[in-house]
Amino acid sequence: MSTAVNSGLRRSARTCYKPDPEIERSGKPAFVLSLTEVKLLGIAGVGFFLDAYDLFIINPVLTMLQYRLYGGNALPVGLHGFVNASANIGSVIGQFTFGYLADALGRSAIYGKELMLIIFATIMCLTTPTGSLSPNSSLIYLGIFRIILGIGVGGDYPMSASVTSDRSNLYKRGTMLAYIFANQGWGSFIGSLNTVIVLACYKHVMNDEGETSKADGVWRIVVALSLIPAFATLYQRLTMPESTRYTEARRMAENQEADLEKEVRALKNVGHNTEGIAASSSLSGSDIEKEDRTQESTVPPSQNGPANPEAIATKKDKAQIGEFIAYFSEWRHAKHLIGTCVCWFLLDIAFYGINLNQNVVLTQIGFAGKTGSDWEKLFKVSTGNLIVTALGFVPGYYATVLTIEKLGRKWIQIQGFLLAALFLGILAGKFNTLSHAAFIVNFALLQFFFNFGANATTYCYPAEVFPTRFRAFAHGVSAASGKAGAIISALAFNALSQDIGTPAVLWIFFGCCIAGAFFTLLLPEVKGRDPDLVSRSDPHLIKCQYIQYVSKSVK
C-alpha cells in the first residue's frame, strides 16, 4: 500500500475524531445523572421497559388462556412452545435488520420505527378472536402477531444500545447502559403487578360468580396497558437528532474512502505495471490531490459515479458490509464477536428457559396450589411471579448499575455466571425436597445473579467493545445469538421437562452458565476503553479497505 494513502488515513484518524470534553471526568459518581442523561434514559429506557413487559407478560397470558380456551387444562405442548418462542423468533429478525440499518443509514433515520412496530403488533394481539376461532387457531393467531411484536422488540436492542453508547461519556457509559437495561426489571415487575391488580378487580365475577372465562378480559387489559408508555415516547424517538460520535465516525469512513479512491485513480493513471505502482506509491499527498482535481475536471459527469440516490445508497450499503467483514476477519476482532455471541447464547438458554416458563416451575413445586378455585390458582401464580421479580429482578439490575464502573464488566459477568450456576445446581439437586420458602429464596437469588451478572453485561459488552461504525450491527448479531438460545429453551423446555424431568433441564442450564463463564475470557475489560480510538489506526482494517477498493477498481 502506498505511503501516501497509509499516512493519509492515519492523519485522518487523528484529525477527524477528537475526544469530546464531556468525556472528561466530572468528579461525580457515575450513577449520578445529568438532566440530559435522565432524558436519554427516559427515551431509550422505555423501550426496554416494553421489551420485558411484552416478552414476559406471556407467562400469565398463557395461564389465563388455559381457562378461557381449554377449561383449565394444559395447553398443547407444541403450541405452548410456539407462543412462548414467537416473540423471540421475531426478535432475531429485528436484531439483524435494525442493527444493520442503524449502521448503514444512521440511528436517527431508523430510531422510533421499531416502537411503531411494537405498537401495531400489540394492538393486533389484543384482537385475538378467542370467541370465534378454535382454541388452537387462537393460539396460532396470537403467536403470529407476537412474532411481529418480537421484530420491534428485537430492533430495540441494537437501537437503544447504540443510541445510548454514542451519547454517553466514557467513564459512565457502562452505567448508562445498565440503567437502560434495568428498565427490563421494571417492565417485568410492573407487568406482574398489573396482572395482580386486574385479577383482584375481577375477583367477584370470576371467583364469586364462577365466570372463569372472564380471564379473557384480564389478559387483554394487562397487555393493552403497555401501549401507554409506548405512545408517550414515540415522538421523542422519531425526532431524535443524530449523535456527534456517529456523524464523526461516518465522516471518518468517507474520508478514508476518498483517500483510497484517490490512490486507485493514481494507480490507473500511471498504469498497472510494477514500475507504475512503485511510482504511484511515491506520490505525495499534494500530488495525489492535484492529480485528482485534474482527473475530475476532464471526466464527463456520467463517469463520476451513480447519479441517482438509490444507487448511491446501494454503494454505501455494500461498502458497509465489506468493511464489517474486513474488520472481523482478523482473530483479535473476531474473538470479541464470538465472545459476545456465545456468552449471550448460553445466558439466554438458561435465563429465558427459566423466565418464559416460570409459571411451570412454580406450579410444579406447588406454589400455584393444588386446591382452590380457578381464580385463586391464577392469583397465586401471579403473586408468585411478582414476589420473585421484586426480590430478584430489580435489585440485581441496580447492583450492576452501582458497581459496573468499579468492578468492571468482565468480573461482573464471570461471577454472575458462576453464582447463577450455583443456585441452579441447588434447585436441580433439591427440586423435589425444597420447601416453598427455600425455593423462593433460591429462585430469587438465581434471578439476582442473572441480573447482577451476565444478563446485564451481555447487553453492555457489544455496545462498548465494538467501534461506532459497526456497533449496532455487531450488537444485533450478538443479541440475535442470545435470542436463538431463548428460542431453543422456549421450544424445548416443556417437552424436556416431561421427558427427562425439570431437575435434569435445570442441570443443562447449570452447564450453560459454567460454559458462559469460560467464554467470557475471550472478552477484554472495556471499562474506560474507547473502541473508536483503538480501531482508528488499525493497519489490518486499512489494508483490507485498500485491497477492497483496488480490487473494485481493477474490475
d(CA 266, CA 309): 27
d(CA 503, CA 431): 6
Is position 495 within any domain?
yes
pLDDT at 211: 82
CA-based angle 537:163:465, to the nearest 5?
Answer: 40
- For residue 470, the enclosing domain spans 30-243+328-536
Q: Which helix (H) or strand (E) holds 366?
A: none
Q: How many independent structural domains does the chain possess?
A: 1
Is position 272 within any domain?
no
pLDDT in tens, 213-259: 888 899 999 999 999 999 999 999 999 988 888 888 777 766 766 66
Q: pLDDT band at 386, cuts 50/70/90?
A: confident
Residue 532 has pLDDT above 80, yes or no: no
Closest CA to 439 of 381, 389, 367: 367
For residue 206, the tally of other CB atoms under 10 A from its CB is 24
Is position 253 within any domain?
no
Residue 59 has pLDDT above 90, yes or no: no
Q: Can you give the CATH number for the domain in which 479 is found?
A: 1.20.1250.20
Q: Are the CB atoms for 393 and 181 separated by under 8 Å? A: no
Average pLDDT for 198-205? 90
Sign of CA dihedral 424, 427, 431, 437: negative
Q: Residue 352 contacts by C-beta under 8 Å, 6 or more apart in sequence?
A: 88, 485, 486, 489, 490
Is position 276 within any domain?
no
Judged on CB neighbours under 10 Å (0-12, 13-18, 19+), 434 is: middle
Is position 466 within any domain?
yes
**Where is pLDDT greater, at 88 or 142?**
142
Residue 140 has pLDDT above 70, yes or no: yes
The residue type at 24: E
CA-based angle 537:331:519, to the nearest 5?
Answer: 120
**Where is pLDDT greater, at 339 or 85?**
339
**Where is pLDDT greater, at 97 or 358?**
97
Average pLDDT for 37-62? 87
Is position 155 within any domain?
yes
Q: pLDDT band at 290, cuts 50/70/90?
A: very low
Average pLDDT for 199-208? 88
Q: Are the CB atoms for 463 and 161 separated by under 8 Å? A: yes
Is position 197 within any domain?
yes
Q: Are the CB atoms for 234 and 118 separated by under 8 Å? A: no
